[in-house]
Amino acid sequence: MPSHTSAEEPRARPLTLLSEEERMFQETVRRFAREQIQPHVRAMDEEAKFRPALLGQMFELGLMSIEIPEQFGGQGGTFFQSVLAIEEIARIDPSAAVIADVQNTLVINALLRWGSHEQQARWFPPMTRDAVGSYALSEAGSGSDAFALATHAEPVEGGWRLTGRKLWITNAAEATLFLVFANVDPSQGYKGITCFVVERGMAGFTVGRKEDKLGIRASSTCELILDGVHAPAANVLGEVGKGYKIAIETLNEGRIAIGGQMVGLAQGALDHALAYARDRKQFGKPIAEFQGVQFDLAEMATQIEAARLLTYNAARLREAGLPFLTEAAMAKYYASQIAETVASQAVEIFGGVGFTKDYPVEKLYRDAKIGRIYEGTSNMQRLTIAKQILR
């Protein structure tokens, strides 16, 4: 069937970029994505719902607990492996990659860096089995101005009472664990922001309307309603008033993973374009033999490789404990830009059929748009880069 058009197995990455362990991990994730996720991509997009059975398989394979220490049942892996997994999954379905991305690089990362041993022992084991995490920062009035939060927390006996609404919260439909940012003292501005762990089922907590989106439709995006939710003192992540630091530093790392997601998406689009160009014949020969098509494919491949190297470099810097703020912004900015460009070029290589849902590239084109918006818009990344290079 046309909807099952797929690319041939891609060439291996240069071994100088990956260790043998990383290469084997990459191959495992690639095989899982191709064999288990790919057959369901179109249906999940149309239904705007991720298959629970696939989510269960992702847990079983350890893709939802890559950096959780082995003592808590996790894989004890690395941040770089998380980026590799997100890239490989996104080649097949960016929606699935988003689910793993938020779990690993935002929620687990925050708990690793700021959670106490008791908090990690409480929440990590379920996250290795079936508990999905969600990251709740955005609100109607706080997008790029992430700290203009209206959600507030007031002290009560034994903890805090949270009231407010969160919008555009990824993984919300599936999640049982939410990192919710609220202000305990609005007069202090961002210095009052605190991170709370809210669990599904707490009184006053409701997952609201699910957004009907242009792309990454199988990834849930919902509003959260907090109507006097009681969060025990033990559910404060880090220190009271330090939520802004948790948010900034976690998102800086998360942007590297978005770079990986966009690289994977672009590579998936190129894979499909290459396969189609070899098969599609016009004027008696495959369109891959026409120089105009060859030039487009060459440009796409070059852009992807540049974005991949930017992303890998940022991930390696982060793992080495070196400054990576500028490199993370560059990776996210450039990878999201080329993902949209490459996906668009892939649609053109497919021609008229590329504009239909019978072939996979129109979905990748729709999925690409969000890359320039979430976890910091392209303009915010350019602002970060400019500030750093002008220092």
**262 with 287, same domain?**
yes
Please indicate, yes or no, whether residues 104 and 222 belong to a single structural domain of this protein: no
pLDDT surpasses 80 at 143 = no
Same domain, 116 and 180: no
Q: What is the pLDDT of residue 13?
A: 47
pLDDT of residue 12 exceeding 70 = no
197/284 same-domain check:
no
pLDDT over 80 (residue 8): no
Q: Which two tokens stand for residue 358?
A: 């019978």
Catalytic residues: 375
22 & 95 share domain: yes
Residues 365 and 272 grouped into a single domain: yes
Q: What DSSP element (H or E) covers 226?
A: strand 221-232
Place of tokens 């439909």: 173
Q: pLDDT per residue over 41-64, tens digit each?
A: 999 999 999 999 999 999 999 999
Other beta carbons within 10 Å of 25? 22
Q: What is the pLDDT of residues 209-220, one digit of tens each?
A: 999 999 999 999
**Which stretch of DSSP H or E encloses residue 204?**
none
| Whole-number Å distance between alpha carbons of 313 and 83 | 11
Over residues 81-98, mean pLDDT: 98
Same domain for 374 and 252: yes
For the cut 60, the answer to whether the pLDDT of residue 38 exceeds it is yes
Q: Which domain holds residue 229?
A: 134-241
Residue 156's pLDDT is 97
CATH of the domain at 171: 2.40.110.10
CA angle 59, 65, 66 (to 5 degrees): 120
pLDDT bin (cut points 50, 70, 90) of residue 14 is very low
Considering 131, 150, 170, which residue would you say is the last residue of a domain? 131
In whole angstroms, what is the distance from residue 333 CA to residue 314 CA? 12
**What letter would DSSP give residue 345?**
H
Contact 72, 121 (CB under 8 A): yes
- Cα distances (Å, whole numbers) of residue 8 to 198, 270, 273, 289: 44, 11, 11, 17
* pLDDT 10s digits, 103-114: 999 999 999 999
Pick the last residue of a domain from 241, 269, 295.
241
Give 293's pLDDT tier (boundaries 50, 70, 90).
very high
Q: Which residue has the tokens 């392209």?
A: 378
Residues 142 and 231 in one domain: yes
Residue 297 identity (one-letter amino acid): L
Percent of the chain with pLDDT over 90: 94
Rounded average pLDDT over 107-129: 98
- DSSP line for 54-79: HHHHHHHTTTT-SSS-GGGTS----H
Give the pLDDT band of residue 244 (cuts 50, 70, 90). Answer: very high
pTM of this structure = 0.94
Q: Over the stretch 157-202, which tens digit does the pLDDT of each residue have?
A: 999 999 999 999 999 999 999 999 999 999 999 999 999 999 999 9
Number of domain units in the chain: 3
pLDDT at 91: 98
Residue where one domain finishes, among candidates 241, 276, 307: 241
Mean pLDDT of the chain, nearest integer = 95
- What's residue 5's pLDDT? 43
Q: Is 15's pLDDT higher than 50?
A: no
pLDDT at 10 over 50: no
Asked if residue 381 and residue 256 are part of one domain, the reply reads yes
- Confidence label for 367 from pLDDT (cuts 50, 70 and 90): very high
CATH number at residue 310: 1.20.140.10
Whether residue 153 is found in the same domain as residue 286:
no
Find the CATH number of the domain harbouring 51. 1.10.540.10
Closest CA to 324 of 237, 280, 259, 274: 259
Mean pLDDT on 285-292: 98
Task: Give the DSSP letter of residue 6.
Answer: -
Do both 10 and 112 map to the same domain?
A: yes
Please check whether residues 150 and 229 belong to one and the same domain: yes
Q: Higher pLDDT residue, 280 or 8?
A: 280
